[in-house]
Structure 1
């Protein structure tokens, strides 16, 4: 039986748009830190994964969501790719 993304924690790490402008790090403690262009930590908050769905609640109370599909994160009209170091 295939493991879920929560079990494998494949979502952890840095996710980046193709142009590198938006960078979102999903941390193991359930927090995220998002940079935009030269602005580090433009958004920070909590996230929760359920299956392939991710819910975000930033520290100001704004909420958003996204989906993981075939190793790609779709969020807020943007497409993120996992950065492999």
Structure 2
């Protein structure tokens, strides 16, 4: 049986678009902080991972979702790659 990203918690960390413009930091404790360009903390909120699916809810109430596939996060038309430490 395949292990989900939820089980390994491999989703925690920084996820970045190829051009570096969008940066999602998925924090332990189910909070996230998104930067856009030079705008740090452009959006903040909570997230929940179930299997390889992620649901976001920002602090204004806006919701979105995404999916982890083969080490890549697909979210709202964006493709994000995990930044290595």
| Unaligned 5+ runs, structure 1 | none
Residue matched to 2:47: 47
Taking the aligned partners of 1:3 and 1:78, their CA distance within structure 2 comes to 24
Taking the aligned partners of 2:2 and 2:76, their CA distance within structure 1 comes to 28
Taking the aligned partners of 2:22 and 2:5, their CA distance within structure 1 comes to 23
Taking the aligned partners of 1:37 and 1:60, their CA distance within structure 2 comes to 20
TM-score, normalised on structure 2?
Answer: 0.96
TM-score, normalised on structure 1?
Answer: 0.96
Q: CA deviation at 1:9?
A: 0.4
The answer to whether the 8 Å contact 2:65/2:75 transfers is yes
Residues 49-68 of structure 1: CA deviation (Å, up to 9, x unaligned): 01110000000000000000
Residue matched to 1:33: 33
Taking the aligned partners of 1:3 and 1:73, their CA distance within structure 2 comes to 16
Q: RMSD over aligned Cα, in angstroms?
A: 0.8
Taking the aligned partners of 1:69 and 1:43, their CA distance within structure 2 comes to 24
Residue matched to 2:75: 75
Runs of 4+ in 1 over 4 A off after TM superposition: none
